[in-house]
Amino acid sequence: MAPSSPVTLSVESQPPIAWLRLDRPQALNALDTELTAALEGAVERVAAMTDVTVLVIAGRGRAFCAGNDITEMATLSAEQAEALARRQAALMARFATLPQVTLAAIDGHALGGGLMLAVAQDLRIASDRARFGLPEVTLGFNPAYGIARLLDVVGGAHARDLLLTGRIVHASEALRLGLVNRVVAAPTLEATAAAWAADVARSPRGGLEATKAIVAELRRPGRGAEPEAYGAALRTSPEARARIQAFVDRKRGR
């Protein structure tokens, strides 16, 4: 008998609310190929839940999502890395077309692709110990699949600051920047997110879905996929791959 695949996420439906929890706490819920595939499947399952109005996305353990799994990235060929980046771009875009309102409940780190996962949601609530950043630039690449959404959420000046410095910001600054909508004490995060989701779900689902569709259409970029394609290729450049390997080696204490 083949060994079963490890569980990397869970979906719990409590109509009119569903919870999607990333479940790789030992890796700070980093996005590897397996978790990306699990998210793709979970999102389609939720899309078919006609009795669910709000989807809450959270992470188990000490992080919401620490971004792409750098350890795995060091093992991927250029073609595999670019293909994974394109899949993740499509995944992030899919949240905007879900019939449900999506709410990210962020505790701990939301870095790189994890920050872009949060930004891909309609609403964001964070604990007071949440941390946000886009450190990929220090490794020679960037999560291009979320830059347009980041610009939409926080504006050009703040987005450039995060993208070009790679600095980490605390929850209080994230609130000031508009990166999150609300910040609450960590022990109350889940209950507050559930209450907010329930409040949103009191409105007719059809009206919420139509509003999401209008916003998505108004915000739809009037360009092709060139920026995302360039970003996907950038992470496979020789310099980026060398820095990724050096990062992995430091983690392993070499």
Q: Which residues are catalytic?
A: 136
Closest CA to 171 of 121, 129, 221: 129
From residue 52, alpha-carbon distances to 39, 48, 92, 194 in Å are 17, 9, 20, 13
Q: Order the strands of the 17-22 sheet from edge to edge.
A: 9-14, 17-22, 54-59, 101-106, 123-127, 182-184
Instruction: Please enumerate in sequence order all residues whose Cβ is within 8 A of that of 28, keeping only pairs 6 or more positions apart, or say none.
Output: 61, 62, 63, 65, 66, 108, 109
